Structures are given as C-alpha cells and as structure tokens.
C-alpha cells in the first residue's frame, strides 16, 4: 500500500499519471490513424459495391461487387461482434508476430486497430447513406465521373457525420485502451490497475478516472464542434 504521507507520494503520482496519459495518447493516436485509413476505405466500399451502388460492377461484373460487399460486410460484423477483451486474447499470436511482443503500449496498438476499423467503417457507411440520393443523381446527370461523385459528393457531404463518427470512435478507443492497459498494455489503465487496485491507492484511481473523463469530454466536444462547423444545414 502506498503511503500518502510520504513526501514523494504526490510527485510520484503526478509523474506516473503523466506517463500513463502519454502512453494512452500514443496508443490511441497511432491506432486511430490506421483505423481512419482502413475504416474510411471499408465504409466507402460497403456503400458503393452494394446493388445499384456506384461501384456495383467492379472489374466489369456485378458478381464481383456482390462478393466484395458480402465478404466485407461479414468481416465488419465479425469484428464488431467479438468483445474486445476476447479479441485482444485471440490476437496475442498475431500481435507478437507484428511487434515481437504482446505487452506494452506499442503492442496495444494492434488489438485497438483491429477493434476500431470495423466500428468506424460502419459509422462511415451510415454517414454516407445519409447523403440525399438527389445530389448523386444530379452529379450523374451533369456527367461527373464516378471518382468525382464519390469524393466531391458522397464523401464530402458525409463529412459532418463522419466527424461525429470519428469522435465516437476515439472515445471507444480510449475505453479499449484502459482495458488493454490493465493486462500489460501500459497507459492509464495500467496505472489504475497497478497503483490504484493492486497497491490500494484511491488517489491514483481517482486521478485516472478524472483524466479519462476529461479526455472523453474533450474529444467528444471537438467532434460535435467540427460537425456543426462542417454541416451545410
């Protein structure tokens, strides 16, 4: 048990929590980068390869569009169906193969990314589906290319919804990072578990909880602000 009367207690708490915050931001930031890159692409493909979609006939055949759509939809559903703690355990061999270890902040990036991609992909899909079909039809009637319709109409008009989806994804990743931290992934979850729980220090636990609340509020507020500023309504 940690002694709060020790002169170095509060300075140690500050340094430990600060290091944990840095590790959390590192793991969430890197995993978010990969999540946005692959999740955005997956969400766009889900919408455009469905029946009647913009890319319903890739490679000149409708069958390819159906196959791509169904396979990707299945993968997204599987990724969202597995609880994160189970997914993290299942990915231990893959994580060790990628980064050489399954312990530490860098190793935590792998399960966070795998969990974040299908979550964000579905939010991107929902956002693009909310774009009025009339805008797409108007662009087609003006002779716009498929790439122009996709980038300048569908994705561009869905940006406010995607911004909200992004903030929701960040909040989810922060929560996941706390879980992975409790099993050796570093970050604030590791601080709460090792110091707050194992060493019976409520000060560490409260500090972690307050910081997590502040981080969630910050990123959710930024997402809401961005969505309002980017909205055309």
DSSP symbols for 116-152: HHHHHHHHHHHHHHTS-HHHHHHHHHTT--HHHIIII
For the chain, the residue count is 233
* Tens digit of each residue's pLDDT, the chain (233 residues): 566 666 788 888 889 899 999 999 999 999 999 999 999 999 999 998 887 778 777 766 777 888 888 999 999 999 999 999 899 889 989 999 998 888 888 999 999 999 999 999 999 999 999 888 888 888 888 888 888 888 888 888 899 999 999 999 999 999 999 888 877 788 888 888 888 777 778 888 899 999 999 999 999 999 888 888 877 55
Residue 131 near residue 158, CB atoms below 8 Å: yes
Q: b/e for 162-180, b at 16 or more Cβ within 10 A?
A: bbbbbbbbbbbbbebbbbb
Residue partners of 2: CB distance under 8 A and separation at least 6 = 9, 195, 199, 200, 201, 203, 204
DSSP 154: I
CATH of region 9-230: 1.10.3720.10
Q: What does the domain layout of the chain look like in residue ranges?
A: 9-230
């Amino acid at each position: 048990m940690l002694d709060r009367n020790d002169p170095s207690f509060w300075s140690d708490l500050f340094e430990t929590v600060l290091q944990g915050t840095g590790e959390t931001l590192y793991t969430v930031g890197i995993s978010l980068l990969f999540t946005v890159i692959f999740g955005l692409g997956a969400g766009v493909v889900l919408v455009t390869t469905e029946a009647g979609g913009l890319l319903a006939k890739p490679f000149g055949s409708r069958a390819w569009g159906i196959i791509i759509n169904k396979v990707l939809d299945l993968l997204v559903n599987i990724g969202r169906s597995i609880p994160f703690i189970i997914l993290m355990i299942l990915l231990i061999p893959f994580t060790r193969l990628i980064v050489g270890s399954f312990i530490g902040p860098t190793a935590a990036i792998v399960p966070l990314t795998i969990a974040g991609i299908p979550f964000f992909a579905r939010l991107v899909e929902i956002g693009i589906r909310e774009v009025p079909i009339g805008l797409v039809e108007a662009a087609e009637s003006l002779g716009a290319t498929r790439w122009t319709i996709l980038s300048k109409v569908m994705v561009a008009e869905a940006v406010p919804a995607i911004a909200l989806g992004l903030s929701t994804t960040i909040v989810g990743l922060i929560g996941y990072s706390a879980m992975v931290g409790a099993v050796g992934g570093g970050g604030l979850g590791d601080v709460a578990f090792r110091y707050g729980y194992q060493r019976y220090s409520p000060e560490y636990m409260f500090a972690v909880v307050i910081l997590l609340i502040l981080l969630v509020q910050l990123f959710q507020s930024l997402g809401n602000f961005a969505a309002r500023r980017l909205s055309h309504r």
